Structure 1
């Protein structure tokens, strides 16, 4: 299989530390080009990919016919603009989450994807981790009975870094755009359910939300359940997701930054049965994401997180924001 030549728009730290490395290491992928107006910012990428081609602008990279796919880790407020530009340049696109700031913006991306025939997706990496695939399967198989309640928490503290794009409204900052996509999206994907009612309490600082607590009800094929989700950029780090069913409980101990926050574990507790714990050491979910994209591009394997999936989570985000007004 011919490797997919990837280009990265912008020398973001996250790209340098995670996604560019994943592209470089992934089977069927080749980290080929980087766009940055500051050549010194390319050094960190060239340290592990010495033959990397560096373009001095995003437009120059998009004009390079050797680049087949583009990864976009730009600030949230620029995602739609540059995703559309990449599509118009004939590139397949993987854009960081959230791919848009409103659900209706994703409609334009869907139309552009459909008319171009290109693969366009949001970089929602957790669905590529086997722990989440396992949990989705357990819930669908009724391992803990009908889901009655779910909790999802993701918090960290970045108050010491006021210039961080997550702390700036003009770059689409806030805990909800940054990590609400995980707490809300994981419930939707794993339980195959959508919100039917919700209410949010949100606290803002300098024009961005720094704390959001959401309660409500979700419904899917297996029925309706209550949920609680919390995100914050001002609390001690915490990651945990719990699904409580009629006959048992499933807990994920490192649901989002598996291997960084802690070891990924799926813990299942059921009355009258031995506790069951599955561990997932050494899984590279970013690499898995790149390889899934390459397989979909090359042989049509269904990609597990479509733009329609991303739109569903963004719609839930929009509802959360509106419910707090």
Structure 2
């Protein structure tokens, strides 16, 4: 079977150090082209992808008949536009999160996917990591009894005003950057959706840098309380806890497993603790391999555009619930 030839729109840092290598390392996948006018920015990609073809524009890459799938790590405000263009060019497309700035913006992308008959998804890599699949299974099995509460913390310190995460004009802020993980990780694991949410938000130069969210969610087991903290102005922290009637589940590196720390999930009972560790797991590679299986074998993908739209709807609720 021929590998899927990937192209990347733009030479972002994240693409150079995380997703680009994953596209090239994944089974059945090859990074074949990059759209950038900067030879300097292209150099890190060429180092791990020999023979990489360079295009000076995004449109030129989309017109390349050798490229079957496109990864889009552009600024948040450009994701939908170029996702639609890629689909209209006959490419499968994997788009970096957050997919859009509002849930309503994702509807035209879904329509474009359906018209093109191609695969399109948000690059929500955590759902492909076995630690999150294990947590979902434990919750499905009722291993902690009825879920009563979930709380999440995801913070890091990034005060650089020039950094894209601190620019309002391109959709920066802690909510779109890491709130997408803090909120939808609970949605995914508990198969739940928000019911009511309130938020306290602090901003700098039009960008949220500290957000506390609290409220109620509901899943198959009924309602439960929810709390989340995201910030781009605090010491790095990643923690998720699901607390039930008979136990709790904790994740110590829930979002950047392998970077922030080793992926580790623990199930705490009244007198026992069961811990599973996941050394060496690359969730970006797993995500690409799952997308290739989706293209080649029509294997269901764990995170659809419809899932992403519901996740963005929760972000919309957070902003609407500001007090």
TM-score > 0.5, shorter chain as reference:
yes
Write out aligned runs for 1:245-284 (5 A): 245-272=244-271, 274-284=272-282
Are 1:106 and 2:106 an aligned pair? yes
Cα RMSD of the aligned pairs, angstroms, is 0.7
Aligned length: 323
Task: State the distance in 2 between where 1:270 and 1:322 align.
Answer: 37
Residue 318 (structure 1) aligns with:
316
Deviation at 1:162, TM superposition (A): 1.1
Task: State the distance in 2 between where 1:111 and 1:49 align.
Answer: 33
Task: State the distance in 1 between where 2:260 and 2:50 align.
Answer: 30
Task: State the distance in 2 between where 1:78 and 1:110 align.
Answer: 16
Residue 84 (structure 1) aligns with:
84
Task: State the distance in 2 between where 1:41 and 1:217 align.
Answer: 45
Structure 1 unmatched runs, 5+: none
Task: State the distance in 1 between where 2:49 and 2:276 align.
Answer: 35
Residue 307 (structure 1) aligns with:
305
Residue 48 (structure 2) aligns with:
48
Task: State the distance in 2 between where 1:155 and 1:237 align.
Answer: 5
Task: State the distance in 1 between where 2:86 and 2:313 align.
Answer: 24
Residue 189 (structure 2) aligns with:
190
Write out aligned runs for 1:96-175 (5 A): 96-159=96-159, 161-175=160-174
Residue 30 (structure 1) aligns with:
30
Task: State the distance in 1 between where 2:91 and 2:38 align.
Answer: 24
Write out aligned runs for 1:291-302 (5 A): 291-302=289-300
Task: State the distance in 2 between where 1:5 and 1:319 align.
Answer: 38
Structure 2 unmatched runs, 5+: none
Deviation at 1:275, TM superposition (A): 1.1
Deviation at 1:271, TM superposition (A): 1.1
Deviates more, 1:238-247 or 1:41-50: 41-50
Are 1:74 and 2:110 an aligned pair? no
Task: State the distance in 2 between where 1:2 and 1:222 align.
Answer: 44
Task: State the distance in 1 between where 2:133 and 2:50 align.
Answer: 35
Residue 60 (structure 1) aligns with:
60
Deviation at 1:39, TM superposition (A): 1.9
Task: State the distance in 2 between where 1:208 and 1:49 align.
Answer: 36
Residue 234 (structure 2) aligns with:
235
Task: State the distance in 2 between where 1:252 and 1:136 align.
Answer: 12
